[in-house]
Amino acid sequence: MFAPEVNTLVTIAAATLDSTGILIDANAGFLRILNIEKLKPNTEHVDHFFIQPTFATLINTQPGAGGEIYHGLLTIGEYMGRTRSLNTRIWRDGNQLRVLAEYDIESLEHLNDTVLQLNSDYAKAQFEITQINLKLRQREVELEQSLIQLEATNLRLKTTQKQLVEAEKMASLGIMVAGVAHEINTPLGVSLGSATLLEQQTQTLAQSLAERRMTQSELSEFFNNALAETGLLRANLERIGSLTYSFHQLAVSDKTSTKCCFNFKRCIDDIITSLGKSMFGEHVFIRVLCNNTLEIESYPIDWASIFTNLINNSFQHGFKGRNHGNIEIVVTSNAKTLVVDYTDDGIGLSVETQAHIFDPFFTTDMQHGMGLGMHLIYNLITQKLNGNIICVSPSGQGTHFHIEIPL
């Protein structure tokens, strides 16, 4: 068994170089370090193998006592390959350098192999990271393309939704048109009947007068009938005029598409008049509580769409399956806010329906609508009028919409 001081194998590397770095002489240890198979004296430059300190540094160092120019660790080998760190002493002898170094073969070579393995692992890891980065970049490109496609699809959906909302607004206008047409039809028929009867009576009286057989009583009867028929005719024509004016105020005038100052109570009354009793029957009552002198600056046609859809919603859903109901519209205001509370005593809404009532295309009755009426109301109130609307509807206790609009 070896003594402790010789348990570790130590080798000596010795060499002699000239001032230009040409190898003059070297032992096997030095040749092994530089991976030189066979010594060729005075032919091989080895100065580039000196990494730290460099050969140029050593050759330019002034010698000390005994000619020594360096004592310490010398890193020697290839910059991008295998290296050694040796405990070294170097002397200058004239124009020559004498190198004497010692190293632990086992530990140093193991350390060098470890470093080389780490470098290999690092290079492999770098390659894998590069591959992952390339895949990530490819994925980013795919995601960007998908995002562009989604944005294009979203734009098309928004355009389609806008068109459908506009169609719903036209449908609201159509409801008013149908109501006005129905309401006009009755007084128009009465007026036509009165005019026809008055014409017949006039022809009869004219014939009696031509034949000189008209009596005082016939003339008095004609006057009485004429007064009655013309009175009836005038009342019904006034009814037609009122309906036409109300509809004109809400849907025809170009001014209604722009912001203007108008009487809010009169606007609501005109909407209800335009819709007419034909929409609900004789047993649906609408009560409006609003200051008669309330003037606001807003968009009458948008308020017509809001109230038309609210009333239509009460009729189609709240009063479904029955021919009676009550609607109350309460309007209050201060210097900054207009508050509208719309309530009906219909069947109310479930919790699930309330959660989605303002969603586009949501409806509980697919046979009577596309589900855009309440979405239109929400958009007009929140986007156009910069307000807010909430729905409170205990099931079976009617529906309540609370609207607040900044003035």
pLDDT along the chain (407 residues), means of 10: 37 87 89 85 90 91 89 86 84 90 66 79 89 90 89 83 65 60 72 84 86 84 84 77 60 56 90 68 83 91 88 82 86 93 88 80 61 80 90 81 93
Domain for residue 304, yes or no? yes
Phi, psi of 46 (to 5 degrees): -125, 5
Closest CA relative to residue 82, chosen from 49, 104, 37: 49
Q: What is the pLDDT of residue 178?
A: 64
Position 366 scores a pLDDT of 52
Axis crossing angle, helix 105-210 with helix 216-247, rounded to the nearest 10:
170
Report the domain count for the chain.
2
DSSP state of 45: B
CB 385 within 8 A of CB 298: yes
In sequence order, the 6+-apart residues with CB closer than 8 A to the CB of 377 are 305, 306, 309, 310, 358, 389
Residue 238 lies in a domain: no
In this structure, what token pair is assigned to residue 398?
A: 């009617």
In the prediction, which pLDDT does 7 show? 34
Which residue, 80, 110, 140, sits at the end of a domain?
A: 110
Check residue 6 and give its pLDDT: 31
Within a domain: 149: no
Predicted confidence at residue 287, as pLDDT, reads 92
In degrees, to the nearest 5, what angle opens at C-alpha 99 toward C-alphas 96 and 103? 170
Structural domain contains residue 85: yes
Out of 61, 83, 110, a domain closes at: 110
Residue 18: predicted pLDDT: 93
Q: Is 243 part of a structural domain of the chain?
A: no
Considering the chain, what is the average pLDDT of its residues? Answer: 81
Residue pair 373/301 in contact (Cβ under 8 Å)? The answer is: no
Which of 93, 110, 127 terminates a domain? The answer is 110
Residue numbers of the domain that contains 395: 257-407
Q: Which CATH number goes with the domain that contains 370?
A: 3.30.565.10
- What pLDDT is attached to residue 180? 62
SS3 assignment, position 359: coil
